[in-house]
Amino acid sequence: MRIGIVNDMPMAIEGMRRVVLSCGEHEVAWVARDGREAVAQCADDCPDLILMDLIMPVMDGVEATRQIMQATPCPILVVTASVNHNSAMVFEAMGAGALDAVNTPMLGMGGESEGRDLLLRKIRMIGVLNRTSRSAAAAPRIRKRPQAADPSTQGCLLTIGSSSGGPQALAEILARLPADFPAPVVLVQHVDEQFVAGLADWLDRQSVLKVRLAREGDRPEAGTVLLAGSNNHLILKNNGKLAYTPEPLQTPYRPSVDVFWHSLVTGWQGDIVAILLTGMGRDGAQGMLELRHKGACTIAQDEASSAVYGMPKAAKELHAALEILPLETIPVLVMSKFPVRIRREAQ
């Protein structure tokens, strides 16, 4: 891949340059030392991937990501000194369309680059996503399990899948749901488990509902938003409890929206509203089609409001979405499907 590097620190630039060139599979397309320069460079020569710092003079990485994704969209990986310390900016950049984030590799005393392997894994995975997003092949079908009979799965469920651009879109939807929203909410966002806890905390601050990571053995319950919290896939088991599984190993999307939604087809007995938001690739489209066949209300974000129109577009192409809506309209439809009722136990 041809890779652009955006960073204002010479040592960081040299560390990333060495990592990019170390495996013999990639080349450095160009180097920009602030966000404005990156926007200009990308307009002249759009690379296969941009390694984007966050804190820079002139224009920061969040605004640069936003402008690049609007003018000359290409995959962007946030590479910053500390993902955890800059988590708010990381989620903002991901809301603008960045795919993932990783700490900046640093040169060691002997010239080796600490963090090299992790950065190369991220680059390799984005290369796989690039190839997958260009393919029209449907996601592999997951073998269905026997019908569940657990009574806790017979109510209503809201589930949302998202990827690049997703954090901000999720925040906008959750901010519109009231404290007495009468259904469980389960989210699957493509995000590395290293900072998924930070994403849960950030989303919790945007919503009056409690947002936390889904734990092994949890049951979805009204008033709580559960976020898939592992690089393994979240599933709903026959007994109505959530679990994590490494299978299928071959999917590049981790955690996968498709895998979770496949598990709902036989695992959830009540009504389902499934929403597929902005994201690169095709994850969620096949699962949404199966949910539609089950009778679920299926909604895909429209192109104009999507930071990356990959996943919703795939759902549209499969005729999996009953509704194609701008982001700001989606909560209105959700509330019409889940009318808030005064709970007798609260009186």
Which residues are the active-site residues?
163, 190, 283
Among 167, 230, 156, residue whose Cα is nearest residue 204: 167
**Dihedrals phi, psi of 255, to nearest 5 degrees:** -75, 150
Residue count of the chain: 347
Question: Using CA atoms, how far apart are residues 19 and 21, in angstroms rounded to an integer?
Answer: 6
DSSP 252-296: SSSS-HHHHHHHHHHH--S-EEEEE-SBSSSTTHHHHHHHHHHT-
Residue 81 · residue 56 · CB < 8 Å: no
Residue 134, judged by CB atoms within 10 A of its CB (0-12, 13-18, 19+), counts as exposed
Cα end-to-end distance, the chain, whole Å: 61
Contact residues for 43 (Cβ-Cβ < 8 A; gap 6+): 71, 72
Question: Using CA atoms, how far apart are residues 79 and 120, in angstroms rounded to an integer?
Answer: 12
Residue 240's H or E segment, with its range, is: none
Residue 213 · residue 229 · CB < 8 Å: yes
Residue 100 · residue 77 · CB < 8 Å: yes
3-state secondary structure of 255: coil
**Dihedrals phi, psi of 330, to nearest 5 degrees:** -60, -45
Question: Using CA atoms, how far apart are residues 129 and 98, in angstroms rounded to an integer?
Answer: 13
Question: Using CA atoms, how far apart are residues 37 and 64, in angstroms rounded to an integer?
Answer: 9
Among 143, 172, 339, residue whose Cα is nearest residue 259: 143
The pair of three-digit structure tokens given for residue 306, joined into one six-digit string: 């999507």
